[in-house]
Structure 1
Amino acid sequence: MGFLKVIRTWALRDKMPIREIARRTGISRNTIKKYLREGIVEPAFQTPDRPRLRTH
């Protein structure tokens, strides 16, 4: 489960106060408020496949 999804779950479903979420995660209250207000989701990019180095 993604980190931001956990924050949203605690805040919206579990009705956990923002102060408690900040204490548990170590993130500032303002940052948590920003995440919840803007509905930010985690980036959905994937790392490109890179060729492996061959050792002889």
Structure 2
Amino acid sequence: MILTRLIQDETGAAASEYAIMVAIIALAIATAASLMDLRAAYSAVVGIVASFVQ
């Protein structure tokens, strides 16, 4: 039956597993960025670069 084949078919499983893994990694990066306050570090670097340009 078609339903039995669809249940046993695992070809799409790898793609969904990779999608979940990418989502977890993106969440970890976003959390780490917010915890390390990268906005302040970015502003400091921009200020230093701007002082060199002037």
User: Where is the helix percentage greater, Structure 1 or Structure 2?
Assistant: 2
Q: Is the pair's TM-score, using the shorter chain for normalization, greater than 0.5?
A: no
- Give the TM interval when normalised to the shorter protein: under 0.3
Structure number with greater Rg is 2
The TM-score, its normalising length taken from structure 2, stands at 0.25
